[in-house]
Amino acid sequence: MTRLRNFHAAQWDEPLILDMGTPGERGYIPPAVEPEIQNAAGPAESLIPAAMRRQTPPCLPEISQPGVLRHYLRLSQMTMGCHITPDASLGTCTMKYSPQINEHLARSPEMSDLHPLQDDDTTQGMLEIIYGLEQMLCEISGMSAFTFQPAGGSQAIFANACIIRAYHEERGEGELRDEIISTAFSHPIDCAAPAVAGYKVITLLPGPNGYPELDALKAAVSPRTAGLMMTNPEDTGIFNPHVEEFTRIVHEAGGLCAYDQANANGILGITRARENGFDLCQFNLHKTFSVPHGSTGGSCGAGGCTEELAKYLPVPMVAFDGERYYWDYDRPDSIGKIRSFHGNPQAVLRSYAWILAHGSEGLRQVAETAVLNNNYLQSLLQDIPGVSIKYDVPGHRLQEVRYSWESLFAETGVSSEDVRRRMVDFGLQGYFTSHHPMLIPEPFTLEPSESWSRSDLEEYGTVLSHIDAEARAEPALVQNAPYQASMTRIHEEALDLPDQRAMTWRGWKRKYGVAARAGANPRA
Amino acid sequence: MGGNGGEGVPLRLGLIVNPIAGMGGRVGLKGTDGPDAVDRARALGAVPVSGERAAIALATLRDAAPTGIEVVTVPGELGEFIARRAGYEPVVIGENYRPTGSSTDTIELARLMRDEGVALLLFAGGDGTARNVYEAVGMDLPALGIPTGVKMHSSVFATNPRSAGELAAHFLRSPNSVCREAEVMDIDEDAFREGRVSARLFGYLRVPFQRNLVQGLKSGSAGNEQGALNGIAAAIAEHMKDDSLWILGPGTTTRHIANALGLPKTLLGVDLYHHRKLVAPDANEREILRQLGDDPARLVVTPIGGQGYLFGRGNQQLSPAVIRRVGIENIIVVATPVKLAGLSGGALLVDTGDPELDDELRGYIRVVVNQRQESMQRIA
């Protein structure tokens, strides 16, 4: 078996950039403007209209170039990303290796200099790529149209909820149909997005095989059903084989069906949303289609639908008249805008290049390899005494598995969170536990995408097996981990407490006051 | 290990029935610990239910394991009559023992059973009976409760009498059957009648293990559920303006609903409201039926944490007659997501005392889990 790494992360006691530098310190001081230029153009300030000039300078750190480089390189040394570790840890996130060539394309001046207000005649290449990716995703899903405006999966799912609403409103049933049905192991956004759109949400809980029973759905549908919004395979990696009956029952009740295909890595080229009976779907380009994850809004949730529903998609859409591509704003039935301008076209470009490089055979091979990798990792983990898998049903899981350390916890008191922190001591990223609700005790979710090698997976198995043995020999060793990481523990509770969490520097200063400025940890 | 009887040697099953257990339920008392409570229950019209339920368990056992089991029991209504009613010819011991009608009986007779060498002690009662069995045999002898009491916080009971019979048969016949250590818990009945719950752990019994057939430990409220409770309260309170009679079952979840409207609520009792006014606090079955009359009514109940019982545990006032009069379609089930996730069997359970009604209740039901959030739950 693979050896355990003797790893130690860098530990830089690095302050926040906003607490660094000294007033007047500069990275680069441009040469003074020559008198001839100044005379011709006037003072620099006059180039900005008076009404747009700010009266006080922005509160930005003042710091030299080497200071900036040093700071960010140190932070990068303390980061565990998918270019440092084989990232099978973040199950449900589909962490795959994204080819560097696509990064170069996305960062090329031809791409980065584009402006959303340019005339269509000067952006024919980009419009062709957007139109082209739409055709590819239609082929992959069986749908008839796609929008790339949503900047993430959640926005695309919200758009789908809005389309369902628009559809029923047009039929005069908007008031009556106020319920959306989802499942407990779907991504929580399939409940949250329709709730934001004004719907009451009915959740179906897993039956004995891990997915909801048909009878639960039959009991849930009514004249008030607006639609079904679900994931398949669900978070457990189990594919609901009755999905066609699910969509049929909802259609018979007058509802629409939206397929959350954020993670399509287990079914790419194997099943299609349309043939499963769905009217709407979405792909997260940053999962299945090899775009780096954008961290809340930097990527693209591609939303697709049937021909009947296409008129509701966000405005504008790229159209082609046989000779020329253009943004079509003449869409009177559209739900409107979901995101400013056109979303993130760099994400569209990366996925377009990635799909072209694979071809249809290649896409199917992606899914097959991802499933094979997952089955192999599962076979390694099944030999670890403290690991169990709820819903031990016949057949294989697809691209991921939600495991449980329930028996390890019962026997040793070592929890899934403890194991997660200990992994880092062996140079692996801590894993994702579970979305809520946590129906599986002491959960952890692994998803070894097609990118990782057999030896990568064996390293995973070895590390988890070793930690299981440590937990039995000396539980406190695992419970107090990590020891070799950049930081020991973070106080995650603050994330759940509105008066403690701070999403911005301004928020941090407001909630923690002057103490934060002085670098003191107010929680310590 | 469980059954170990060789060829032809019958396995011995001990049976003790606490004949007064469960009498307090339908008349709105919170248990029958102590002689005063028994008299009060009788005065309120209570009839014994324990023997009947024990007989269902034994009949199921007999169906599941027709041969090879010998029932060892004690005279009269403490076991012998029940065993005979289920078709057994029991070995009767303790004929010289003079029953006192108190908890001493269970303790003394359980010790006799142990000395007789029974493989499993099946007892019918509630938490009080379980405590007595524990006092007598501790962990020496595998034991299993047939649920017939009002309070069943202990996890030593099968989910219903039929399951008790099945589980006992399975345990005695299977060479690989295993036991688990199950909590014996009880609450102070006087405090319970005054609306305070103070559950205490008394010890552990060794109970045959089979998932879904043993009642889980009744869990207390977990974590910060305030948000979900507020959401549930808002969702229900919105509807309580109508003309229906609103019947709120026991529990902290239902209390939250009443409190959100500024109304009082008996924590462990059933309270009736009309037009957002309390019309009958801590009502028993008779009072509920009287108030019901012919008006439309809504019944709000929450399952017991851990076990998932919707009817038949701690709310026997909501009798089959009450449930039928209200109508199944007018039952509103409320529970926080944490409570639902903590259900040991993953399903809600009913044990109204009327098997036909239990059957009608089975299937999927909507559970209000927050404002504008519901969950489909199976009643098993």
Beta carbons of A215 and B363 less than 8 Å apart: yes
What pLDDT, on the 0 to 100 scale, is given for residue B194? 64
Is the pLDDT reported for residue B4 higher than 50? no
Which residues from chain B sit within 8 angstroms of residue A200, using beta carbons?
372-374
B207: pLDDT confidence band, cut at 50, 70 and 90?
confident
Best B331, B372, B379 residue to mutate vs chain A (most A CBs within 10 Å): B372
| Residue at token pair 């699910």 | A246
- pLDDT for residue B112: 92
The rounded Cα A514 to chain-centroid distance in angstroms is 35
Per-residue confidence (pLDDT) for residue B215, from 0 to 100: 38
| A359/chain B closest Cα distance in angstroms | 42
User: Rounded CA gap, B217 and B343, in Å?
Assistant: 10
Question: What's the mean pLDDT in A308-332?
Answer: 97
- Token pair listed for A445: 């979710």
- Taking alpha carbons only, the member of B37, B195, B12 closest to residue B112 is B12
What distance lies between CA A82 and its chain's CA centroid?
Answer: 14
One-letter-per-residue 3-state SS of B69-108 = EEEEECCHHHCHHHHHHCCCCCEECCCCCCCCCCHHHHHH
pLDDT tens column, A179-188: 999 999 999 9
How is residue A267 written in tokens? 């079914």
Residues of A in contact with B372 (CB under 8 A): 195, 199-201
Is the Cβ pair B366, A200 closer than 8 Å? Answer: no
Q: Does A205 touch chain B (CB under 8 A)?
A: yes
Q: With contact defined as beta carbons under 8 Å apart, do B99 and B78 qualify?
A: yes
Q: Report the C-alpha dihedral over residues A316, A321, A323, A329, rounded to 10 degrees.
A: -20
DSSP code at position B348: B
- For residues A351 and A333, what is the distance between their CA atoms, to the nearest angstrom? 29
Percent of chain B with pLDDT over 70: 81
Residues A163-178 have a mean pLDDT of 97
pLDDT band, very low/low/confident/very high, at B31 (cuts 50, 70, 90): low
Task: Flag if A205 and B373 touch (Cβ within 8 Å).
Answer: no
Axis crossing angle, helix A345-381 with helix A454-473, rounded to the nearest 10: 50
Is B226 an interface residue toward A (CB < 8 Å)? no
Closest Cα in chain A, distance from residue B304 (Å)? 18
Q: Mean pLDDT: which of A79-83, A325-329, B258-262 is highest?
A: A325-329
Dump the DSSP string for A413-467.
Answer: ---HHHHHHHHGGGT-PPPB--PSS--SSSEEEE---TTS-HHHHHHHHHHHHHH
Question: Smallest CA–CA separation between B314 and chain A, in Å?
Answer: 26
Q: B230-246: buried (b, 16+ CB within 10 Å) or exposed (e) per residue?
A: ebbbebbbeebeeebbb
Chain A residues within an 8 Å CB radius of B340: 205, 437
Query: Shortest CA distance to B131 belongs to which of B70, B189, B211, B195?
Result: B189
The CA distance from B191 to A170, in Å, is: 59
Residue of B nearest to A199 (CA): B372
A204 touching B, CB under 8 A?
yes
Is 50 exceeded by the pLDDT of residue A110?
yes
Comparing A142-156, A161-175, B152-166, the range with the smallest average pLDDT is B152-166
Q: Which of A208-217, A321-330, B30-39 has the lowest mean pLDDT?
A: B30-39
Q: Is A215 on the interface with B (CB under 8 A)?
A: yes
Chain A residue closest to B340 (CA)? A439
Torsion of CA A140, A141, A146, A152, to 10 degrees: -90
- B369 phi and psi, to 5 degrees? -110, -15
Distance in Å, alpha carbon of B234 to nearest chain A alpha carbon = 14
Residues of A in contact with B378 (CB under 8 A): 205, 207, 213, 215-216
For A337-371, how does the pLDDT look when each residue is reduced to its tens digit (9 = 90+)? 999 999 999 999 999 999 999 999 999 999 999 99
CA distance A343 to A285: 12
Three-state SS at B376 = strand
User: Could you say which of A195, A205, A218 has the minimum Cβ distance to residue B375?
Assistant: A205
φ, ψ for residue B225, nearest 5 deg: -105, 10
Q: Is A202 on the interface with B (CB under 8 A)?
A: yes
Mutation for testing the B interface, residue in A181, A200, A205, A406 having most B CBs under 10 Å: A205
| Residue B4 near residue B175 (C-beta atoms within 8 A) | yes
In this prediction, residues B340-346 reach a mean pLDDT of 71
Interface test with B, best of A183, A199, A202, A225 (most B CBs within 10 A): A202
- Strands B245-248 and B271-274, by their bridges, are antiparallel
pLDDT at residue B195, as a whole number: 58
Please tell me the predicted confidence (pLDDT) of residue A191.
94
Q: B374 contacts in A (CB within 8 Å)?
A: 200-203
**Residue B178 in this model has a pLDDT that exceeds 80:** no
Q: Among candidates B358, B284, B348, which has minimal Cα distance to B322?
A: B284
- β B69-73/A179-183 pair status: unpaired
**Subunit contact A191:B373, Cβ cutoff 8 A:** yes
Higher pLDDT, A297 or B239: B239
Nearest Cβ partner of B375 from A203, A217, A438?
A203
Which chain B residues are closer than 8 Å to A213 by Cβ? 378
Q: Does A212 touch chain B (CB under 8 A)?
A: yes
Please give the Cα distance from B44 to A367 (Å, whole number).
Answer: 69
pLDDT at res. B343: 73
Q: Are A77 and A10 in contact (CB under 8 A)?
A: yes
Compute the nearest-CA separation of B216 from chain A (Å): 16
Q: Does B363 touch chain A (CB under 8 A)?
A: yes
Residue A91 has pLDDT above 80, yes or no: yes
Using an 8 Å CB-CB cutoff, list chain B residues near A202. Answer: 366, 374-376
ipTM for the complex shown: 0.84
Say whether B373 and A438 touch across the interface (CB within 8 A).
no
**Per-residue confidence (pLDDT) for residue A5, from 0 to 100:** 92
Nearest to A216 among B337, B364, B372 (CB): B364
Nearest neighbour of A219 by CB, restricted to B337, B364, B373:
B364
B358-369: per-residue pLDDT in tens? 999 999 999 999
A265-301: pLDDT as tens digits: 999 999 999 999 999 999 999 999 999 987 777 899 9
Say what angle helices A345-381 and A100-107 make with each other, to 10 degrees.
160
Return the structure tokens found at B74.
């004690």
Give the pLDDT score at B233. 94
Residue contact B374–A439, C-beta within 8 A: no
Please check whether residue A197 touches B, CB under 8 A: no
In the predicted model, what is the mean pLDDT of residues A422-442?
A: 89
- Measured at the CA of B311, the angle between CA B308 and CA B316, to 5 degrees, comes to 135
Beta strands in A51-153 (DSSP E): 145-147
Q: Shortest CB distance from A201 goes to which of B340, B364, B373? A: B373
- Is A203–B373 a contact, with Cβ atoms under 8 angstroms apart? yes
Check pLDDT > 60 for residue B223: no
State both tokens at B240: 């309580």
Q: Does A200 touch chain B (CB under 8 A)?
A: yes
pLDDT at B189: 67
A219, B341: Cβ pair inside 8 Å?
no
**Angstrom distance (rounded) from CA A169 to CA A177:** 9
- Nearest CA to A17 among A76, A62, A80? A62
pTM recorded for the entire structure: 0.76
DSSP lists the bridge partners of residue A137 as none
Answer whether B374 sits within 8 Å of A215, measured CB to CB. Answer: no
Peptide bond before residue A443 is cis, with ω within 30 degrees of 0: no
Tokens 């940890």 correspond to what residue?
A521
When pLDDT is averaged across residues A86-115 and rounded to a whole number, the result is: 93
Listed range (A275-284, A325-334, B22-31) with the worst mean pLDDT: B22-31
For chain B, report the end-to-end CA distance as a whole number of angstroms: 29
B372–A438 CB contact, under 8 Å:
no
Nearest-by-Cβ selection for B337 from A204, A213, A437: A437
Residues in B touching A221 (Cβ below 8 Å): none
Q: Which of B341, B346, B372 sits opposite A201 (nearest CB)?
A: B372
Q: For the segment A458-496, what is each residue's pLDDT rounded down to a tens digit? A: 999 999 999 999 999 998 899 899 999 998 777 666 776
Banded pLDDT at A523 (limits 50, 70, 90): very low
Q: What is the DSSP letter of B300?
A: E
Q: Looking at the predicted structure, is the pLDDT value of residue B16 above 70? A: yes
Q: What is the mean pLDDT of residues A374-401?
A: 92
Q: Any CB–CB contact under 8 A between B340 and chain A?
A: yes
A374 in contact with chain B, both atoms CB, cutoff 8 A: no
What is the SS3 assignment for A137? helix
CA dihedral of A242, A246, A247, A249, whole degrees rounded to 10: 130
Highest mean pLDDT among A20-24, A46-50, B27-31: A20-24
Residue A500 has pLDDT above 50, yes or no: yes
* Residue B321: predicted pLDDT: 95
pLDDT recorded at residue B241: 87
For A:167-196, CB contacts with B below 8 A are 184, 191, 195
Distance separating alpha carbons of residues B211 and B190, to the nearest angstrom: 33
In chain B, residues with a C-beta closer than 8 Å to the C-beta of A435 are none
Reported as a pLDDT band with limits 50, 70 and 90, residue A521 is: very low
pLDDT at residue B192 in the model: 64
Give chain A positions within 8 Å (CB) of B364: 215-216, 218-220
- Tens of pLDDT, residue by residue over B243-296, are 999 999 987 789 889 999 999 998 778 999 999 999 999 999 999 999 998 889
Q: What is the mean pLDDT of residues B88-97?
A: 90
How close does chain A come to B170, measured CA to CA in Å? 22
Confidence of residue A9 (pLDDT cuts 50, 70, 90): very high
